[in-house]
């Protein structure tokens, strides 16, 4: 088990790391079990996670301060792990030195759940906690065999970001289907501007790859060389190599999609909520809009990235740890944490209360949560992802046909999976 666990060590995805909380017991959202040992003595709960921008850190601290004010018998010791978060966390857990509560990316969740180091949370949940309020796909990412191991604290889906002036100048309507999207990208490509700034990686292409009925993962093994997967993502390759209407950010000197978009080198990108504060701060003069990702073969599809709070099964302060999780992922705490829009609430009621479901820019991102494909699938997804990305980029750049690239990647991925059994 340990061999398989450590074989999958990877750094958390940038998306989840940059996306990245709740009512007190008085409002019935936390368990009514005691938050201390029962003798009135104060207890300390350790909470670990990765860092965020200063505004996010301030919001989290405010939420934790509110929790401590409502639970004076609990102190929260917050630790930020700046580098190689999951590597550090797994090492500490296996050594018996893990925190009581910590962040867990959905991408890493299946493998960590399988090790048995997480506390199932269902027995702590009351009706008032209202688990039905969570967006279902986001909650399911942290469940296995009927048990819940984490409650999602925030999320983002992908949405279409488009430059309003560029579309207007080209006489292009906001594309509603993938065919319209490809045609629009051609018309928008001129004078050093690409129609589509694309991230050629599995984390962004997964939903598209499975849109023709193929599967990236089957029985926890790579299966993306399937002809249906090749068919589904070939258009992205063709937009770069045939239409010449798409480019990845580094081809134009940008580090990621929103930077390429803000610099005016892409008329459209498919990005998440994290791009909105970036655009506001870095490119405030760009007039842009967002829309749901164009439909594929008549079906809506997008990706979702989410992170949960989970409890260490070896925690000595489980009742207090649940009170903390219950507050951070309950309605009150989540409203505080997501109030500035840096992160989006996983609870539908909080999104509605804060107006994000009707927000001009964030509305399409929130809408996508109900039908999104969550970035998580089995214990071997890290291995599968690494191999997919290595070969997909070469096909994107025209170095080899896509079917050959994916066959080579699939064989290598499954060879590594077999070696870790």
For 390-418, the pLDDT digits (tens) are: 999 999 999 999 999 999 999 999 999 99
Q: How confident is the model at residue 40 (pLDDT cuts 50, 70, 90)?
A: low
Q: How confident is the model at residue 39 (pLDDT cuts 50, 70, 90)?
A: low
Q: How confident is the model at residue 280 (pLDDT cuts 50, 70, 90)?
A: very high
Contact predicate 201/219, CB 8 Å: no
Residue 337's Cα: distance from chain center in Å?
17
Q: How confident is the model at residue 52 (pLDDT cuts 50, 70, 90)?
A: confident
Q: Which two tokens stand for residue 310?
A: 């989970």
Q: In the 8-state DSSP scheme, what is residue 177?
A: B
Question: DSSP per residue over 306-338, as a string?
Answer: EEEEEEBTT-S-HHHHHHHHHHHTSHHHHHHHT
Question: Helix, strand or coil for residue 347?
Answer: strand
Number of H helices, E strands in the chain: 18, 15
Query: Which has the closest alpha carbon to 346: 106, 126, 57, 128?
Result: 106
CA angle 101, 276, 235 (to 5 degrees): 100
pLDDT for 10 equals: 31
Mean of pLDDT values over 67-95: 95
Between residues 27 and 155, the one the model is more confident about: 155
pLDDT digits 0-9 by tens, 336-348: 999 999 999 999 9
pLDDT digits 0-9 by tens, 82-128: 999 999 999 999 899 999 999 999 999 999 999 999 999 999 999 99
Give Cα separations from 401 to 148, 177, 200, 288 (angstroms). 42, 26, 15, 35
Which of 2-16, 44-58, 301-315 comes out lowest in average pLDDT?
2-16
Distance CA 348, CA 154 (A): 11
Per-residue pLDDT at 75 exceeds 50: yes
Per-residue pLDDT at 172 exceeds 80: yes
pLDDT for 11 equals: 30
Distance CA 222, CA 412 (A): 9
Q: In the 8-state DSSP scheme, what is residue 20?
A: -
pLDDT for 41 equals: 85
pLDDT digits 0-9 by tens, 198-236: 999 999 999 999 999 999 999 999 999 999 999 999 999
pLDDT for 421 equals: 82
Q: How confident is the model at residue 27 (pLDDT cuts 50, 70, 90)?
A: very low
Q: How confident is the model at residue 7 (pLDDT cuts 50, 70, 90)?
A: very low
Q: What is the pTM of this model?
A: 0.89
Per-residue pLDDT at 291 exceeds 50: yes
pLDDT for 5 equals: 35
Distance CA 44, CA 316 (A): 10
Residue-range domains of the chain with CATH: 2-157+305-374 (3.40.190.10), 159-302+378-419 (3.40.190.10)
The β-bridge relationship of strands 101-105 and 143-144 is unpaired
pLDDT mean across residues, the chain: 91
Distance CA 17, CA 90 (A): 16
Distance CA 127, CA 36 (A): 22
């Amino acid at each position: 088990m340990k061999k398989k666990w450590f074989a999958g060590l990877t750094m958390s995805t940038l998306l989840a790391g940059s996306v990245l909380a709740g009512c007190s017991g008085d409002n019935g959202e936390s368990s009514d079990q005691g938050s201390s040992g029962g003798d009135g003595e104060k207890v300390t709960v350790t909470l670990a996670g990765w860092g965020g921008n200063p505004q996010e850190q301030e919001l989290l601290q405010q939420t934790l301060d509110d929790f401590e004010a409502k639970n004076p018998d609990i102190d929260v010791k917050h630790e930020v792990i700046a580098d190689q978060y999951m590597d550090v966390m797994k090492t500490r857990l296996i050594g018996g030195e893990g925190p009581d509560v910590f962040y867990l990316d959905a991408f890493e969740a299946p493998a960590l759940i399988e090790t048995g180091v997480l506390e199932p949370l269902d027995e702590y949940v009351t009706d008032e906690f209202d688990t039905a309020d969570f967006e279902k796909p986001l909650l399911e990412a942290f469940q296995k065999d009927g048990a819940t191991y984490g409650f999602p604290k925030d999320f983002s889906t992908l949405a279409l970001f488009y430059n309003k002036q560029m579309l207007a100048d080209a006489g292009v309507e906001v594309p509603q289907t993938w065919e319209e999207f490809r045609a629009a990208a051609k018309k928008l490509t001129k004078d050093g501007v690409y129609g589509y700034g694309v991230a050629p990686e599995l984390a962004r292409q997964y939903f598209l790859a499975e849109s023709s009925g193929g599967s990236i993962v089957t029985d926890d093994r790579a299966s993306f060389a399937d002809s249906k997967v090749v068919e589904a993502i070939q258009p992205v390759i063709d937009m770069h190599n045939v239409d010449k209407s798409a480019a990845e950010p580094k081809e134009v000197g940008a580090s990621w999609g929103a930077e390429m978009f803000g610099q005016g080198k892409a008329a459209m990108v498919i990005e998440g909520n994290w791009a909105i504060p970036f655009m506001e701060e870095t490119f405030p003069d760009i007039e842009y809009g967002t829309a749901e990702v164009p439909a594929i073969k008549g079906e809506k599809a997008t990706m979702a990235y989410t992170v949960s709070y989970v409890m260490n099964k070896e925690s000595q302060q489980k009742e207090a740890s649940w009170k903390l999780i219950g507050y951070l992922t309950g309605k009150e705490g989540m409203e505080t944490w997501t109030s500035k829009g840096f992160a989006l609430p996983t609870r539908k009621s909080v999104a509605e209360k804060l107006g994000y479901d009707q927000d001009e820019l964030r509305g399409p991102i929130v809408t996508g949560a109900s039908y999104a494909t969550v970035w998580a699938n089995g214990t071997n997804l890290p291995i599968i992802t690494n191999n997919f990305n290595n070969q997909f980029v070469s096909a994107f750049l025209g170095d080899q046909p896509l079917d050959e690239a994916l066959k080579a990647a699939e064989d290598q991925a499954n060879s590594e999976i077999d070696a870790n059994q």
